[in-house]
Amino acid sequence: MDSDQMDFEPLHVPERLIPLPLSVSGQAREMLAAFARGDTAAYPASDDLASWKAMIKASDEGMSAMIFTAAHDAASQAEPIDLGGVPSYRAVPRNTANGAPDILFDLHGGGLILGGGDLVRRFAMKAATEYEVEVFAPDYRMPPDFPYPTPLDDCVAAFLALLELHPAERIIVQGASAGGNLAAALMLRLREIGAPFPAGLILQTPEIDLTESGDSFQTNRGVDVVLRDSLMPINVLYANGHDLRDPTLSPLFADFSKGFPPTIISTGTRDLFLSNAVRFHNTIRRAGVPSELIVMEAMPHGGFMGAPEDAELLEDLRGWAQRIWRRTSQP
């Protein structure tokens, strides 16, 4: 019998309380405590599109309220731009308003259904402030009206249009969570059509496996105070009847021996997607792809919402990006 089909007895763990970690800053502990008091909402039925849209609207409003924008508004500015027919935003630091040689192509997160519209502009300004470079961010379409492959098609179209404005070796692609899924899938599409890769890829806690087969989907379930439970209802809505193991839906299962750009991946020990990051790093590393993995202590999905540990992670990611840009700018 195939070992995958064998019926193993699950590990029985005694019920216990998990204390706040003493190994992180007080601000990080406060965030974990505050988010632990929140409730997990049930997902609508897959065919109840009106309820999905209402949930998305409410969630986007909540996300908007959480984003601190005053510093980004002061440090950067953004304007709408069309990239290959995809409504997008171009954001630049105010001290480089005429453009910068280094480019970040930013794909927002949001569980494949959230974060669109004006949030794209705000995320782009945040990235421009943090990395101090020019940022292009597509407002890719999403379910329930536009399931797979439309979101990925939009990202491909926008990136190809960006290549007409800037050389690939000056571009780094960044994707957070669902954006990490799309960023990795974008690389597979570029490879398929023979388009150039960007200089590098930043994947922050990527939603790289929609089958949710990794160990942390069990061990960190309920421990991650941001993503407390499975996103499978959303994954099924996004996939629109396609096999979740398709590499352009779950890039973890792709063949990376055919090429992939240098990649840095971040996650945390309390992240529901911890296994995604670890498995993806190991998979591409074994295929010979230059890859780095950062695992932050006690960090849940998406970070600590402004604690010092978030600044430490950003410093590492920005340092990696600057090394890539310097390397590609050398004759």
pLDDT of 2 over the 70 cut = no
Residue in the structure block whose two tokens are 């590098």: 200
Q: What is the pLDDT, as a whole number, of residue 61?
A: 83
pLDDT of 39 over the 80 cut = no
Mean pLDDT (the chain, rounded): 92
Q: What is the pLDDT of residues 58-78, one digit of tens each?
A: 888 887 777 666 667 777 889
If you average pLDDT over residues 146-164, what whole number do you get? 98
Report in angstroms the alpha-carbon separations of 74 from 78, 178, 211, 223: 11, 28, 41, 36
Which has the higher per-residue pLDDT, 70 or 250?
Answer: 250
Q: What is the pLDDT of residues 272-319, one digit of tens each?
A: 999 999 999 999 999 999 999 999 999 999 999 999 999 999 999 999
Out of 15-29, 35-49, 57-71, 143-157, least confident range: 57-71
pLDDT of 330 over the 70 cut = no
Burial of 289 (0-12, 13-18, 19+ CB in 10 A): middle
If you average pLDDT over residues 42-59, what whole number do you get? 88
Q: What is the torsional sign of CA 257, 206, 300, 293?
A: positive
If you average pLDDT over residues 161-189, what whole number do you get? 97
Q: What is the pLDDT, as a whole number, of residue 69?
A: 65
Domain ranges for the chain: 70-329
If you average pLDDT over residues 169-196, what whole number do you get? 98
d(C-alpha 52, C-alpha 234), whole Å: 10
Closest CA to 91 of 60, 65, 139, 129: 129
For 80-139, give the DSSP string.
EEEETTEEEEEEEEGGGTT--S-EEEEE--STTTSS-THHHHHHHHHHHHHH-SEEEEE-
d(C-alpha 45, C-alpha 226), whole Å: 22
Q: What is the pLDDT of residues 190-230, one digit of tens each?
A: 999 999 999 999 999 999 999 999 999 999 999 999 999 99
Q: What is the pLDDT, as a whole number, of residue 4?
A: 58
Q: Which two tokens stand for residue 10?
A: 């699950």
Half-sphere exposure of 136 (CA within 13 A, CB side): 26
Q: What is the pLDDT, as a whole number, of residue 137?
A: 98
Q: What is the pLDDT, as a whole number, of residue 157?
A: 98
Q: What is the pLDDT, as a whole number, of residue 99?
A: 52
If you average pLDDT over residues 234-238, what whole number do you get? 96
d(C-alpha 220, C-alpha 202), whole Å: 23
The percentage of residues in the chain with a pLDDT greater than 90, rounded to a whole number, is 78
If you average pLDDT over residues 114-140, what whole number do you get? 94
Give the CATH superfamily of 70-329: Alpha/Beta hydrolase fold, catalytic domain (3.40.50.1820)
Q: What is the pLDDT, as a whole number, of residue 288?
A: 97
Which has the higher per-residue pLDDT, 143 or 7?
Answer: 143
d(C-alpha 164, C-alpha 168), whole Å: 9
Band (1; pLDDT cuts 50, 70, 90): very low
pLDDT of 5 over the 70 cut = no
pLDDT of 34 over the 80 cut = yes
Burial of 23 (0-12, 13-18, 19+ CB in 10 A): exposed
Element (H, E) at 311: helix 308-329
Q: What is the pLDDT, as a whole number, of residue 289?
A: 98
Closest CA to 324 of 160, 168, 95: 168
